[in-house]
Structure 1
Amino acid sequence: DQPVETLVAALEKHTLGLGIVEDCFADPDVTDAFLTAPVDENRIRVRHDGETLRTNVRLTTDGADALASRFRRSSGRAFSRASPTLAATTDAGDRRVRVAGVTTPVSDGVGFTFRAHDESAFRLPDLVENGTLAPSTAAFLSVAVRRGAAVLLAGARGAGKTTLLGALLWELPVDVRTVLIEDTPELPVRELQSEGRDVQPLRVATGDGASIEPTDALRTALRLGDGAIVVGEVRGEEARVLYEAMRVGAADGAVLGTIHGGGGESVRERVVTDLGVPETAFADTDLVVTLEAYDDGGSRRRRLRAIEEVRRTDDGVGFETIATEGSLSLE
């Protein structure tokens, strides 16, 4: 004799929602859920308050296939033998979650990793409060963005690059138009627009069905009007277009993006050597901000590692460290 509302909620969770995955993320201390293929042979593991734990729950093969079908519909990605990887975002109850998926032939069936992305609407004061940034470095970054700096946010996966990028979007002048390019939607576009900000998102979906390539998206962004340009992740041919725009002054506002790297030198190596951007063009970058994740008594936290100013030298490009964790030194 269950109330009708209870039955309706259960049906919605298992037909329209993520089923037992939602139960995992109902605990606010759970940040990740791992569904390893073959899912019917492996228990779901979760990361709870920084510790990875094995649950007593398994997903059925049919359940995994149903999730895969749902993500294909919502993301527009093929997620098939011809395109066996997936990157998407979804909701688990009232929490925003990133999804990474694999399927045959690169995996023994469908498998997923889910990561909560609750920080999407964080602002700089929030990052000061939770210890990611010192007040002085947060103030410095705010001024840099407001004055139209070109900033790359670097770090490993899970270091907090996207979280800081989302927070910096709130520091752009209110009257500045922002064109935002990202593959998987993670930045707080809806929140910014609801506050009256002029934010134009451009979705890029490489490899699956109808899509716009990142390079074409960036060229489109440059034609959509003056203002700030934000690239969710700098990782391919679009880097050359971005730096060409910076060189000729086509982007007259701040230029912000994230990139994998462990500091100024590794970012320079990534951009110049791997992505083919001339070093003279890379010198148009103003700042490289590096973040890192660390364990703090069992809890996984994030912090600023360094802010480096990019400087032209006789030998090409050099870096001047102007901030480290908890300190700021300006000349």
Structure 2
Amino acid sequence: MSKRNSKKIIKEFYAIEPPFAYVVISQDREGGLLRYEVLEPPLSDQEKEALKEIKELLLEEINVEFLDVRDYEKARVELDKVINKVVRKYKIKVGKESLKKIKYYLFRDLLGYGKIDVLMKDPNVEDISCDGVNVPVYIWHRKYESLPTNIVFTSKEELLSFINKLAYKAGRQITIARPIVDGMLPEGYRAHMVLDEVALRGGSFTIRKFAKEPYTIIDLILFRTISPKIAAYLWLALEHKKSMIIFGSTGAGKTTLLNAVAMLIRPEAKIITIEETPELRLPHENWVPLVTRSSSSVSGIVSEITLFDLLKAALRMRPDYIIVGEIRGEEAYTLFQAIATGHAGLSTVHADSVESLMRRLESKPISIPRRLIPLMKILIHIARVKVRGEITRRVVDVYEIVGLDERKEVKLNKAFEWIGTIDQFDFSEKSEVLKGIAEEMFMEEDEILDELERRARLLEYMAEKGLRSFSDVARVVREYYTNPDRVLRRVGVI
């Protein structure tokens, strides 16, 4: 139940680092504007002076390498010892409770990310962006979507100092000669930084966060993003090396779904993933993750490695599956050619409908000839939708590319559809992909449908029992490929 005061409604309150850091999602009573507020312990003037003094002394006592330790907990323990030493050595008068608050801010500022540290630690925050000086930092919240925060960089010097700190943490150098930089933070998050020479409001940065443990297909079933039957269908299709594209708008969950589906690939298969930012994480031993590289030298001494370069290199590694994080240019044609030669391909594309997907595939810069499009057998549309007043994600359609009709138009079969009015998934009972698998395996179509049902029931069982972790799903999938009857008997499916 929402709590009220004179000015706002408290929609949600939760802890990030108790007893010091909390988050409040509030709503303005009059305008209805939602706001993300960080609550941290207030400091008295005396405590602020002590904090400033201790921080200056610490910077004399420790070196930069100490602050760059990647093991946060280890660095925190060591820094705590140094703080205590400094307080004793310089006889700084500060009470026990005050010192606890001061230590919180020292850990936050020296080891963490300063005033946005709470945002970085909040698992509900997916993106963090700052547009300039005296502008609220915005976040993308998993539940409430885009929200302004109560965090503001109040001067150009403060913002540029923070951007330089981000660049340092990402192992990059941002300068007037190179004012736009992308990098990977120690946590695996992607950071995009722009100096004030280009971003005229005083500089800007955007941080894209990724879950430490990726969502599994069972997580998505529990979220109702996907049904057990659709998941079982994609599992069967992947086992038989049917290529697929996941499409949707920005923030729809394409990469999350791609990672969850890719975990269902046969354990011994050779998989190569190709990304601009390493977001995918798979349990397979025979997995080669490749990432692009931008030129890190103004003179061009360090050459750029593009998605196209990596895809060409991947074809020499004899992969069973090639997964491209997102196709948007010339690399798409090479991926389709790879599929034509027997490799299975998975990727994502930005498109908000199947019609716009087809236009994107055929238009520049992707430019896939229409005759090659049927090589991609399955198209999965995921979207952000509103269910019972809340924004969530759903796989709204699953299409199969049947081929080209007599007018050379791409012929589609809608195998699954989400019915928004009742929040249920409908199977058309007609699947050209499953029919094709049956023919390849010299089986009756009913036998494949029975296998689809068995896998769907297994996934339902895993969801009911909470077997959703990365390791649980990897273990069950591995066991199923080895001895499916034993797994099905254990869960009571047969």
Same fold (TM over 0.5): yes
Letter in 1 for 2:309: D
Q: Cα distance 1:145–1:58, how it changes in 2: closer, same or farther (>3 A)?
A: same
Structure 2: distance between partners of 1:127 and 1:200 = 25
Q: Within 5 A, what are the aligned runs for 1:1-331? A: 1=95, 10-38=105-133, 41-48=134-141, 49-50=143-144, 52-59=146-153, 60-73=155-168, 75=170, 84-90=179-185, 97-108=189-200, 109-118=202-211, 121-188=214-281, 192=282, 195=283, 197-206=285-294, 208-209=296-297, 210=302, 211-249=304-342, 251=343, 254-274=344-364, 275-296=366-387, 299-313=390-404, 314=406, 315-325=408-418, 326-331=425-430
Q: Offset of 1:148 from its aligned partner?
A: 0.9
Over 3 Å counting, the alpha-carbon distance change for 1:45 and 1:269 in structure 2 is closer
Partners of 1:226 and 1:97 lie apart in 2 by 27
C-alpha offsets along residues 99-129 of structure 1, whole Å, 9 cap, x if unaligned?
4444344422321233443286111111010
Gaps of 5+ in 1: none
Contact 1:13 1:19 in 2 (8 A): yes
Question: 2:121 and 2:319 mapped to 1: Cα distance?
Answer: 42
Find the residue that maps to 1:57 and give its secondary structure: strand
Aligned partner of residue 144 in structure 1, secondary structure: helix
Q: 1:174 to 1:5 in 2, by over 3 A?
A: farther
- Cα deviation for residue 54 of structure 1 reads 3.6
Cα contact 1:72–1:79 (8 A) shared by 2: yes
Deviation at 1:27, TM superposition (A): 4.0
Pair 1:307–1:118, CA change in 2 (3 A):
same
Whole-Å separation in 2 of the counterparts to 1:149 and 1:119: 29
Give the distance between the partners of 1:198 and 1:305, measured in 2 at CA: 32
TM-fit CA distance, 1:63: 4.1
How far has the Cα of 1:143 moved from its partner?
1.3
Contact 2:171 2:183 in 1 (8 A): no
Question: Per-residue deviation at 1:200?
Answer: 0.8
The AA in structure 1 aligned to 2:335 is L
The answer to whether the 8 Å contact 1:120/1:163 transfers is no
Relative contact order higher in (CA < 8 Å, ≥ 6 apart):
1
Percent of residue pairs bearing the same amino acid type: 26
TM superposition shift of 1:137: 0.7
Question: What is the CA-CA distance between 1:157 and the residue it aligns to?
Answer: 0.6
Which piece of structure 1 moves more, 281-290 or 2-11?
2-11
Question: In the alignment, is the contact (CA less than 8 A) between 1:120 and 1:187 conserved in 2?
Answer: no
Q: What is the deviation of 1:240?
A: 1.2
Distance 1:320 1:165 in 2: 21
Which one has a larger percent strand, Structure 1 or Structure 2? 1
Contact 2:189–2:209 (CA under 8 A) maintained in structure 1:
yes
Residue 152 of structure 1 aligns to which amino acid in structure 2?
A: I
CA distance in 2, matches of 1:266, 1:102: 31
Q: Are 1:280 and 1:316, in contact at CA under 8 Å, matched by a contact in 2?
A: no
Q: Matched residue of 1:240: which SS?
A: helix
User: Structure 1 residues 155, 2: closer, same or farther in 2, change over 3 A?
Assistant: farther
- Measured in 2, the distance between the counterparts of 1:143 and 1:13 equals 47
User: Helix, strand or coil for the counterpart of 1:44?
Assistant: strand
Superposition TM-score, scaled by structure 1 size? 0.84
The residue identity in structure 2 corresponding to 1:247 is A
> How far apart are residue 230 of structure 1 and its match?
0.6
Which 5+ residue runs of structure 2 have no aligned equivalent? 1-94, 419-424, 431-494
- Which whole-Å deviations, capped at 9, do the CAs of 1:65-87 have from their partners, x for residues lacking one? 34433443455666555655455
Q: How far did 1:197 drift? A: 2.5
Distance 2:428 2:137 in 1: 47
The CA RMSD over aligned residues, in Å, is: 2.8
Could you tell me how far apart the structure 1 residues matched to 2:175 and 2:212 are?
Answer: 31
Decide which structure has the larger Cα Rg and report it: 2
Q: Which amino acid aligns with 2:255?
A: T
Q: Which range moved further: 209-218 or 143-152?
A: 209-218
Larger CA deviation: 132-141 vs 49-58: 49-58
